Structure 1
Amino acid sequence: MAGCLQDDDPDAGDDEDWEPSESMRYIVPYDEGGGTDVYARGIIESLTDAMDEDIQVDNVPGGGGLNGFGELYGSEPDGHTIAGSATPLEVPPQMLDDPGFDQRDLEGIANIGRSTWCLIVNEEYEGEVETFDDVREMHNSGEWDSIGIQEPGSPQDIMTLLAKHGEGYAEEYDWQWEERVQYTGTGPIAEAVTAGEVPCGIGTDAGTEPDVSAGGVYPVCTFWSEGTEVYPDIPSVTDEGYPEMDFIAGVTRGLYAPPDTPDGVIQELTERVEEATQDERYEEWSEETGNPIFYEGPEDANAAIDDAFEEMEELEIVDLIEEHS
């Protein structure tokens, strides 16, 4: 009788013995070719084996990542839908315009890597433009007037605004760009720089690496003070003597599940993600691309979003964006 009663309880067994029972959906809230997409496709083979189910990568771009997060938010909390993130990229868009949900309600699964924001330039200028100083001079002299970034509230938006208008930053950077052309992710930015739509743009190291390897663009600097493992030979802006922007210049690659996903499901998911991060194929991908990989559990994934909101609020980033964007 006890066994029969447990079978009739839809919540019974939620905290133990869960495993995927159908194909899974991995939402990437950006276009193909961006850093979040690159990480998804870097781990997908290992993750598919760890889950023992097919996993479909589904790109849902737009809204600064919030379109994809909205898809996740409304999905069944049964463990079969997850999403990648690029925290803190998705935080300011929610602070600027309420999407009707709060990403802090999502259930963290794991952090699996980290990226940094880099400045890339069309290959036409190779040999002439090699540092941030050179890029700044091209804009300040009027030879260039544009730069490719993501939507209002994106890290690129914030970094360029700080460098032109921000207290404690504008005095040192004095970066007098005229126009910022907005795209939905690093992939489209790299394509635009390659095509010459804009002479330069800011994208993640993970997202720009395929385009750099293919030719057409090259990196000149990173905004992360510790540099980038993807492009170990380029300087950071702090190496060139500019104030650090580390609070916005790094990206945590996280994985999340819908709100109210049972603890037992999260535990099983995170164990299988950890298994995937230790797979030699994921490690080989990291060695080939330079993209750093690691595993951090659900608490760290949740903290990444919570901490980003706190930092943005303390620095009054929304006021800066609304005043100048």
Structure 2
Amino acid sequence: MGDSDDEDEAEEFPSDTIRTLIAFGEGGGTDIYARQIWGQVSEQRDVSVQFDNVPGAGGMTGASEFAASDSGGHTIAPFNAPGDIIPALIQDVDFDFEEFRGVAAHAEEEFVIVGNPDEEIGDFDEMVDRYADGEFEAFGGMQPGTQFNIIATILRDNADYDVQWENYIPYDGSGEVGQAVASGEIPNGIVTVSTAEDMSEQVDVVTGLVDHELSAFPDVPSLTDLGYPDLGYLGGMVRATYAPPETPDEHIEWLEEAAEEAIESDDLQGWADEGGLHLEFMGGSEFVDDLTSESIGNIRDEIDLDEFRD
């Protein structure tokens, strides 16, 4: 009897609109991937999917709302490891990231520095010199305590990089950082490579913050190409989808299978190939849960979190 009830419950899911809560502004990499993947799920599975952007506090405003949702799997949210886990460990939040249930991981994505085209920044070395000369003062990224902010602080405080920005300008998403650079509000900022690709006609990519070639921008040198130290795991992140803590196993299974089907579809693979973006089904619920635990361990071992607390 119990098994029959479970089967009926699984067959009935989803019984309502699936709400995709995006804890960042529109136009950033998290937003772009989520809308593509879960929009494809909507088409392939003939289900209703709603997208809500809930930015603020480096993603923690949306994460807190997500953690409190009791939707049985009808609310999902994309987050990134280690990026979105860092502020959860720094800030005084009322949830534990390890209690979120993994659904699927879909991309590894690099960070890049972009510049305003009118500034005609030749490369990272030239950008460093122009900050040292006082021509540039502002540098943009996401909110304090985010992966973006930690990278910017390392670039300033580590003499191996010596990017002497004076004013860190925070935004609620990678897309907002890109728009600020494109408009000339700030000369440079850190964004995801998907944001840079989406805005490739509005910003210049100065460098990749990784130790390998950027498939979307193969002609852009990375920091290590220029002889700078590798930022390690901080130079990129893994994108994944999560469900709230109490989501039933059978609903996780449905979401995982739907995500895999969408990610591997010809439509989405064509979209990713055209943009030079990484998109693959990297693993399901267990993979994401392990990724979360590993990221938390790395963060606690390698970052002085107290330095970024108020």
Asked if these proteins are the same fold (TM beyond 0.5), I'd say yes
CA-CA distance at 1:250 after TM superposition: 0.8
What corresponds to 2:305 in structure 1? 318
Alpha-carbon offset, residue 16 of structure 1? 4.8
SS in 2 for 1:85: strand
Tell me, yes or no, if the aligned pair for 1:117 and 1:202 is still in contact at 8 Å: yes
Question: 1:136 maps to which residue?
Answer: 128
Matched with 1:196 is 184
Match of 1:31 in 2: 25
Are the aligned partners of 2:82 and 2:299 in contact in 1 as well (CA < 8 Å)?
no
Spell out, residue by residue over 1:113-156, the C-alpha distance to the aligned partner (whole angstroms, 9 max, x if none): 12111000001022xx1211111111011111111111111122
SS at match of 2:219: coil
Which of 15, 20, 24 lines up with 1:21 in the alignment?
15
Letter in 2 for 1:39: Y
Is the 2:116–2:188 Cα contact (8 Å) retained in structure 1? yes
Q: Does 1:180 align with 2:174?
A: no
The amino acid across from 1:74 in the alignment is A
1:308 matched to 2:259: no
1:96 is matched with: 90
Are the aligned partners of 1:18 and 1:264 in contact in 2 as well (CA < 8 Å)? no
Asked whether the 8 Å contact 1:18–1:268 carries over to 2, the reply is no
More deviation, 173-182/313-322: 313-322
Post-superposition shift, 1:6? Answer: 6.5
How far did 1:308 drift?
1.6
Aligned partners of 2:19 and 2:50 also within 8 Å: yes
How far 1:87 moved relative to its partner? 1.9
Q: Deviations over 1:192-230 (max 9, x none)?
A: 111111111110011222222xx3311011101123222
Judged with a 3 Å threshold, the aligned counterparts in structure 2 of structure 1 residues 242 and 319 are, in CA distance, closer, same or farther, namely farther
Partner of 1:171: 159
Query: What CA distance in whole angstroms lies between the structure 2 residues aligned with 1:40 and 1:241?
Result: 35
Would you say the 8 A contact 1:69–1:103 is kept in 2?
A: no
Structure 2 unmatched ranges of 5 or more: none
Aligned to 1:294: 280
Q: Which residue identity lines up with residue 122 of structure 2 in the other structure? A: E
In structure 2, what is the Cα distance between the partners aligned to 1:48 and 1:143?
A: 49
- Structure 1, 156-165 or 216-225: larger mean CA deviation: 156-165
Please say if residues 70 and 246 of structure 2, whose CA atoms lie closer than 8 Å, have aligned partners that are also in contact: no
Bigger Rg over Cα: 1
CA distance in 1 between counterparts of 2:8 and 2:302 reads 41
Task: Tell me what 1:233 maps to.
Answer: 219
1:147 lines up with 2:139 in the alignment: yes
* Structure 1 residues 65 and 51, CA gap change in structure 2 (3 angstroms): farther
TM-score computed with the length of structure 2 as normaliser = 0.94
1:50 Cα deviation from its structure 2 partner: 3.6
Give 1:175's aligned amino acid. Answer: V
- What RMSD over aligned residues (CA atoms) do the two structures have, in Å? 1.9
Residue in structure 2 matched with residue 116 of structure 1 by the alignment: 110
